């Protein structure tokens, strides 16, 4: 079932997320719907707040860009460390249609999380996957990629953000992969 992607201006994107106490069939069904929604929107990552659930959960599938990186589920993730090296990359977001901006992020992270079967992980991740994880993790922390832009960049996109918040600009599938 396709879920409605919440766009800039919706309160759920700024609401604290809650830990998931139990991985059950209801959660698995919700995650399945998240994947279906993400693929329909041509995304490579999707966080629960983006589909109106204030839960500590996000999904990633980089296979459209890297066949070695398939579907991954991150339940109750916690980034525990950031590497010192940083890089820049143009990011977009399913919740902020039409805007793409350069964002600086660490190239390496350490993250703890559970998968769909409840297995616990503590991983060091680098490269593009680390960037995508940080972007999705930000959604769990009430942060959007536009919050990471300079004041000048924010002022340049202010009018577009207002149009998104008012519903004048809607979510559509894109030629570019969205986070």
* Active site (catalytic) residues: 136
Cα(61)–Cα(70) distance, integer angstroms: 5
Distance, in Å, from the CA atom of 169 to the CA atom of 96, rounded to the nearest integer, reads: 9
- Give the single-character DSSP code of 9: T
142: left (phi over 0), alpha (psi -120 to 50) or beta: left
The answer to whether 109 and 134 are in contact (CB under 8 A) is yes
What residues are paired with 124 via a beta bridge?
A: 110
């Amino acid at each position: 079932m396709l879920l409605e992607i919440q766009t800039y201006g919706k309160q759920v994107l700024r609401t604290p997320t809650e830990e998931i106490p139990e991985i059950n069939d209801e959660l698995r069904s919700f995650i399945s719907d998240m994947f279906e929604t993400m693929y329909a929107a041509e995304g490579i990552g999707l966080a629960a707040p983006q589909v109106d659930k204030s839960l500590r959960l996000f999904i990633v599938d980089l296979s459209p860009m890297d066949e070695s990186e398939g579907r991954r589920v991150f339940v109750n993730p916690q980034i525990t460390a950031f590497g010192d090296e940083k890089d820049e990359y143009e990011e977009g977001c399913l919740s902020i249609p039409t805007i793409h901006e350069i964002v600086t992020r660490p190239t390496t992270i350490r993250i703890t999380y559970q998968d769909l079967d409840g297995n616990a992980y503590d991983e060091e991740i680098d490269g593009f996957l680390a960037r995508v994880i940080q972007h999705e993790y930000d959604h769990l922390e009430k942060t959007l990629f536009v919050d990471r832009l300079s004041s000048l960049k924010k002022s340049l996109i202010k009018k577009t953000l207002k149009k998104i918040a008012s519903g004048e600009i809607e979510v559509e599938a894109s030629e570019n992969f969205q986070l």
